[in-house]
Amino acid sequence: MSAYLLLENSEIFKGKSIGYKGICVGEVVFNTSMSGYQEILTDPSYKGQIVAMTYPQIGNYGTNSSDMESKKPFVEGFIVKEMSYITSNFRSEDTLNEYLTKNRIVGIENIDTRKLTKIIREKGSLIGAITSYEEKIDEAKKLIDEYSIVGKDMVRFVTTKKPYEYKEKLFRFDFENKINMETVHNKRVVALDFGIKTNILRYLNEVGFNVVVMPAYSSYEEIKYQKPNALFLSNGPGDPRGVDDKWIIEYKKAIEEFPTFGICFGHQIIARCFDLKVYKMKFGHHGANHPVEDLESGTISVTAQNHNYAVDENSIKDRNFLVTHINLNDRTIEGMRHKELPLMSVQHHPEASPGPHDAKYLFERFAAMVENNQRSIL
């Protein structure tokens, strides 16, 4: 069965339908990861976006319930060059096609993903639509004309509705040894859920935190009621500028009281709390192979990333922040810390889902920051 990918620049790709038969619309972005497609599909940060994989064959190891980063997929649509309809993995429960179909994700294969990626690199992220039906091409064009996520709060679609405790630790095969990580002891962290990923929570547990996840729309008093020792601001979808100013005020109150770590969307929210400028990038960073330099140690890590927005370097000048990490591809800011408050943030995903584990040390750094802050209070 044929399918069509339409872009707002009037480009049309004809391919083969995969997954659910229907129509979808979203901001089209490309991801350069060679594996980890299930983690990508279930990353809430992709709400509002159609993801194109640049690696040519996707799906050869199937899907399983253990590798999900949230309760369900959040991508609007999925694009691949070639999808594998057979799986070679003892952990597989469904083929990728079965998984997409069950979760009503519209997809397309057998298009020139190299050409698509070059268009996005040249033009920037574009609004697009996938339709499994040729007779609905005009409907798809209309959806494209009406769609935008710039300036909109997408967090409301992905955040938890009520607080809950999370106690799982990292998944390991039976033959693996426990990793040795520096930990905190009996410290409680409130994780604000802007679209939090499962492995982030697992890493927080791994370094010793007792984790309570709270809705993104939580007031300072509601956070304080949980009696936390620390605050964590998670990843999330869309434009951080779309979050209402009244919540930014609440977050800043909490940040000024509790040691805080923010990643990705949380990093951008911290920037907003301190009146730093956040801007939309041309086509963002999406993949598991972005080199980042830790300016304080000189260490270079290969990192996982998923964001279309960044903090403006010029807005940090003459503020109480130090830039701690830089992307070596385009020199964008990848991390910062406050000069006076116990506050740190990074733009990339140190939990590596999917991706390399080079940046996991940041969870240990957060744990050490909380321990040191508690000792200074005592």
- Which positions are catalytic? 264, 349, 351
Beta strands in the chain (DSSP E): 2-7, 12-19, 23-31, 49-53, 57-58, 77-79, 82-83, 106-109, 126-131, 164-166, 187-193, 209-215, 230-233, 260-263, 278-294, 300-311, 321-327, 333-338, 343-346
Q: What is the Cβ-side half-sphere exposure of residue 227, based on CA atoms within 13 angstroms?
A: 2
Tokens 């639509």 correspond to what residue? 129
- Spell out the residues 6+ positions from residue 6 whose beta carbon is closer than 8 angstroms to its own: 12, 13, 128, 129, 130, 131, 137, 140, 141, 144
Which candidate, 149, 53, 63, places its Cα nearest to that of 109? 53
Which candidate, 348, 268, 280, 283, places its Cα nearest to that of 316? 268
Which two structure tokens, joined as six digits, stand for 335? 């991390």
Largest CA distance in the chain: 69
Kindly state the helix (H) or strand (E) to which residue 221 belongs, with its residue range: helix 220-225
Question: Is cis: bond before 354, omega within 30 of 0?
Answer: yes
Query: What amino acid is encoded at 45 in this protein?
Result: S
Query: What amino acid is encoded at 283 in this protein?
Result: F
